[in-house]
Amino acid sequence: MTDTTTTVTDRSFEEALPKRRLRMGSRTSHLARAYAGRVADALRLVAPNVDVEIVGIETSGDAWKGDLARLGGKGAFMKEIDKALALGEIDMAMHAMKDVPGDVPLPRGLVFAAYLERDDVRDCVVWRAGSRYESLDDLPPGTVIGTSAVRRKAQILRRRPDLQVVPFRGNVIPRLARLDENDDGIEAIVLAHSGLMRADAGDRIGETFPMDMMCPAVGAGVIGVQCRESDEGVRGLLRLIDHDETRRHITAERAMLHGLQGHCNSPIAGHCSTTPDGRLSLTGMVFSHDGGEFVHAHGQDERDRAHELGAHVAATLAREGARDIIAGIPH
């Protein structure tokens, strides 16, 4: 199909659609609402006759303050939203793809019909208010860094095995507030660059980690929009805001995640990009909890073979011992 054909289809679709109100489910955190607003803006641009209402849904993941693994992992951020979508209470649902688990199948009857163009995927340091440091390199041995992500912990400890990493979680804005209260001796935390930007906290971004020091999470920086598979109208609409290259990258990364059958607590990193000659390039890493052990794999394939590339890199990682490392980590 040529670009011209697509444009004509888009316009006729828009004209055929009567004024319509669509409800989009989103978590209630500041960051989730900012992401949902971005999806609504993108839809408004391609379909001015569609009015998007954002419906805040509090998930069990947001309400739970304890260890996520005990709640059944990251899927806890989706369950209530998936249910509302399946029941028709909402027409679409917005998710940060990083929070979508890879070891359980997505609910039947729901599809990701759009991925927005990927944001910056890097992680960065956020110093507590008044901290005098500028880089991990400056920290005295034993300095305490807060992060609950095993992927981040393992990679920080690979660079600085003498630092102390303690669990620290919560939605982005409250997490920053708790860091600044600083009654637990934490000097800095690690967060996603894009999340801080979206949450209007870009001024807190400290040292930004290069990709070769901190491989991002699968799905980092990508917003996905789900709808019912049977809802042709909404699927057609979402297709208009789907970013093709991001879809290829997400497909490869998630095929890798699925191939490894990592659970919510697995320190798995994965990143797919496009080479200058248009091929897909995928890096995957799996770490032991203390960062002492890790396996690494990389592969390239044609741009329409994202799924095969992900499966291939997962198989390579598995051959290198990734499954043993994953199995050795408690759920």
Ligand X SMILES: NCc1[nH]cc(CCC(=O)O)c1CC(=O)O
Q: Give the footprint of ligand X on this chain (CB under 6 A).
A: 96, 98-99, 172, 191-192, 194-195, 220-221
* Cβ 77 to ligand X shortest distance, Å: 8
Cβ 87 to ligand X shortest distance, Å: 25
Our CB check for ligand X shows the closer of 51 and 62 to be: 62
Closest to 113 (Cα-Cα) out of 127, 100, 94: 94
Q: Which amino acid, residue 246?
A: T
Cβ closest to ligand X, residue 90 vs residue 96: 96
- Residue nearest to ligand X according to CB distances in the complex: 195
CB of 33 to ligand X, least distance (A): 13
User: Residue 98 CB, nearest distance to ligand X (Å)?
Assistant: 4
Nearer to ligand X, 52 or 192 (CB): 192
289 closest CA partner among 95, 86, 153, 87? 153
From the candidates 82, 91, 99, 119, which is the catalytic residue? 99
Residue 174 CB partners (closer than 8 Å, separation 6+): none
Q: By the 8 A CB rule, do 219 and 112 touch?
A: no
Q: Does residue 125 contact residue 188 with C-beta atoms inside 8 Å? A: yes
For ligand X, the closer CB: 29 or 316: 29
| Pairing relationship of beta strands 280-287 and 268-274 according to DSSP bridges | antiparallel
Enumerate the H helices of the chain as residue ranges: 3-16, 30-46, 60-63, 79-86, 150-159, 172-181, 193-198, 232-239, 244-260, 306-319, 322-327
CB 176 within 8 A of CB 201: yes
Q: Are 69 and 237 in contact (CB under 8 A)?
A: no
- Annotated active-site residue 99? The verdict is yes
Number of residues in the chain:
331
Tokens matching residue 322:
């990734």
Residues 191-228: b if buried by 16+ CB within 10 A, e if exposed: bbbbbbebbebeebbbbebeeeebbbbbbbbbbbbbbb
| Angle formed at CA 225 by CA 308 and CA 14, multiple of 5 degrees | 110
Contact 250, 97 (CB under 8 A): yes
Give the nearer residue to ligand X in terms of CB position, either 153 or 228: 153
CB of 314 to ligand X, least distance (A): 21
Smallest separation (angstroms) from ligand X to the CB of 31:
6
Q: By C-beta, is 195 or 262 nearer to ligand X?
A: 195
Active site residues: 99
